[in-house]
Amino acid sequence: MLSLLVTSLALVYARHRGLLDLPGKRRSHTQATPRGGGVGIVAAVVLAGLPAWYGLEPAASPVRVGAIALAILAVALIGWRDDHAPLSVLSRLTVHVLAALLVGAAVLAPGPWPGAFGWMALLPLAVVLVGFINAHNFMDGIDGILGQQGLFVMLGYGLLAAWAGRTGLAAFAFVSAAGCLGFLFFNFPPARIFMGDVGSGALGLALGTVAALLVQRNPALLWGCLILPSAFLVDSGLTLARRMLGGQRWYAPHRQHLYQWLVRVNWSHARTDVAYMTWNLAVVAPLAWLAVRWPARGVWCVLAAYALAGAAWYVGKRACLAAATGGRLHEAA
């Protein structure tokens, strides 16, 4: 309900301020659409999800909760500012790194490892969290796709937490999933408002935070936590790698993700969303369950999830390129 309310207010605000995403060659929509609706998800995570965790989890001290809330709000605020007027990549990335370090410190502070050894994980964890922020930002390009991904992954993390007896983390994840659902009422095709950077980066950080907290308390859940967001991480990661190897600016707007190519060859936004969710339910969810059920084989489940997603990405891109170029497999874009 909080997400519904705040998103509806964001819609009124965006229309009043003229905060619109306009159609263009590097965009996948055909009409001017308000942006910034992701603030509804941020409100749900910070004002409901984190308090639920704090109320049900003994290890969720006020300092930890406050640090995570501050980090998520910082990423949301820099995204909100960028939604109003584009900022430099360096300024956004600086905030992302600082927020990731703050979350990493909050996750590792009460960790089970003694002394400096536990803090050695801070930098790798921060790198992963920055990756989550930007991967989910990159994947917010058509109606509904990021909101439904956040819903799916947060529900999955909530089930993992409940299975492991982490009631507070389960509540955090389930409430965050409800925030995504509230936003989807406005964003499912045809979208009345887009998430904007205010929501995409903050949602990515929230997803990474829940995963890190789960693994910190129960390392055997690492495999499941890696598998659940695999569809987005593979699409964003392989597309980014291809752009960088091709000498293109990795941070520039484009339409080269697989989901964007599907739209370019005349798939509707709704059909593309259904395809990604079908993959999640048919491939990702069973592999995550197997990884949790048999953690000794979890690494093989992770490899299978990412290999299958990589193969689907490659085959899908080839098919889209063939359809777009009349069978000539080259990419003019």
Domain count, the chain: 1
Burial grade of 114 (CB within 10 A; 0-12, 13-18, 19 or more):
exposed
* Residue 90 covered by a domain: yes
Residue 123 has pLDDT above 70, yes or no: yes
More confident residue, 58 or 84: 84
State the pLDDT at residue 59: 75
Domain of 134 in residue numbering reads as: 2-324
* Residue 114 covered by a domain: yes
- Predicted confidence band of residue 111 (pLDDT cuts 50, 70, 90): low
pLDDT tens track for 183-208: 999 999 999 999 999 999 999 999 99
Reading phi first (left if > 0) and then psi (alpha if -120 to 50, else beta), residue 199 is in alpha
Residue 313 has pLDDT above 80, yes or no: yes
Q: Which residue has the tokens 């874009």?
A: 333
* Residue 331 covered by a domain: no
Residue/partner pairs of 63-68 with CB below 8 Å, 24 or more apart: 63/106, 64/106, 64/109, 64/110, 67/102, 67/103, 67/105, 67/106, 68/102, 68/103, 68/106, 68/209
State the pLDDT at residue 317: 93
Q: What is the pTM of this model?
A: 0.92
- Quote the CA–CA distance of 150 and 302 in Å, as a whole number: 19
* Residue 96 covered by a domain: yes
* Residue 233 covered by a domain: yes
* Residue 220 covered by a domain: yes
* Residue 332 covered by a domain: no
Query: Which of the residue ranges 109-113, 239-243, 263-267, 282-286 has the most confident prediction, judged by mean pLDDT?
Result: 282-286
Least confident of 23-32, 122-131, 163-172, 241-250: 23-32
* Residue 10 covered by a domain: yes
State the pLDDT at residue 330: 47
Mean pLDDT, the chain, whole residue set: 91
